[in-house]
Amino acid sequence: MSILTNFIEGKNRSCVPIWFMRQAGRYLPEFREIRLKNPDFIKLCMNSDLSAEITLQPIKRFNLDAAIIFSDILIVPYALGQEVVFKKNEGPVLSRLDNNTFLGIGKNQFSEKLNPVYKAIEKTRKKLDKKKSLIAFVGAPWTLLTYIFTLKKSDNQLDQAKFDKVKNDLSKILLELIEYLKTHIQNQINAGADVVQIFDSWAGLLPENDLNNFCYTPNKILVNYCKSKNIPVISFPKGINKKYKDFVKVVNPNVINIDYNINPKWARDNIEGTCLQGGMDPKILLENEDIIFNETKKYLDIFKNKPYIFNLGHGLLPSTNPDKVMKLINCIRENKI
């Protein structure tokens, strides 16, 4: 049993576990060094030796309680045959969806294409301290669909006209996509991951009437799938504000990661029956130490009597200074906050 699984199952809650979304990434000079030599991001994700090495970088540096496998949610559309390119300052761009080949790919072929991810998990697990958790992840179906169908406009708002136009197609594809995601989750568990996080980063784009079909229901299917494998699961339906309460009621994950727009006191008083994780704005880590410590103290105090995993309300920003991250972790561990 790992630190996170023990904590989530209530077997050992003596310390607040600490890990960060995007803990392996551009804010680390050791990551940038590897990245510079590997300009193709998807290829880098598919290099199991480098993926394992990058996964372990923040563990070596900060001795965090959990590693999250270095990969990307867009590896799934890639495995289904879409081209995925990461353009500098523009984010990911996916090629036009080819309706003839997309989703026509067999489960074995899909798993075969993603084999390097599973090899990376095996390699990481061998090198990672047994006590530490290894988190696998998938993008939630809605968030993947926003990329697969380019449903976001350049200002990151929903392209409502396009959404309305393809809604029927989306509903059909959604169910098939869920099956591939189950396969990807199963393969990651088989390779040695012991916790799963489901990222629904664009849940906040959904009109209220569509939340049930496109967010709650697909997340619930995947959460139940993880639970059926006895693997704790963390949900992150970013941007849904007060609907977090309904989400937890309906989806019932083992852990809910709140985003930086959620008032932590509101979360404490309204979200029931799950562990809470994260919440603090990653921008806080760009501020001076006083501000960082005050804000961290706020979260730790508010969740003092609740099962709480320290993390952020979204991923660490590339401009974060790793020394500040180190200081923060040490202070939390030494109860100096």
**Within positions 103 to 162, which residues make up the interface with ligand CP3, using CB under 6 A?**
137
State which amino acid sits at residue 244.
Y
Figure out which of the listed residues 199, 214, 244, 299 binds ligand CP3, where binding follows CB under 6 A. Answer: 199
- Decide if residue 322 touches ligand CP3 (CB under 6 A): no
Q: Quick check: 302 and 251 in contact, CB under 8 A? A: no
Q: How far apart are CA 134 and CA 300, in angstroms?
A: 24
- Decide if residue 24 touches ligand CP3 (CB under 6 A): yes
Exposure of 86 in the CB half-sphere (CA atoms within 13 A): 14
Per-residue x/- marks for ligand CP3, 210-249, CB under 6 A?
----------------------------------------
CB of 140 to ligand CP3, least distance (A): 9
> Token pair of 151, please?
């449903």
Per-residue x/- marks for ligand CP3, 31-50, CB under 6 A?
----x-----x---------
Per-residue x/- marks for ligand CP3, 64-83, CB under 6 A?
----x-xxxxx---------
Q: How far apart are CA 303 and CA 316, in angstroms?
A: 21
Outline where the chain has alpha helix (H). Answer: 3-8, 29-37, 41-45, 48-62, 75-79, 107-113, 115-127, 141-148, 160-191, 211, 217-228, 244-251, 264-270, 289-302, 322-333
- Decide if residue 21 touches ligand CP3 (CB under 6 A): yes
Pairing of strands 91-94, 84-87: antiparallel
Minimum CB distance to ligand CP3 smaller for 86 or for 260: 86
Figure out which of the listed residues 3, 7, 16, 25 binds ligand CP3, where binding follows CB under 6 A. Answer: 25
Contact residues for ligand CP3, defined by CB under 6 A: 21-26, 35, 41, 68, 70-74, 86, 91-92, 137, 199, 201, 315
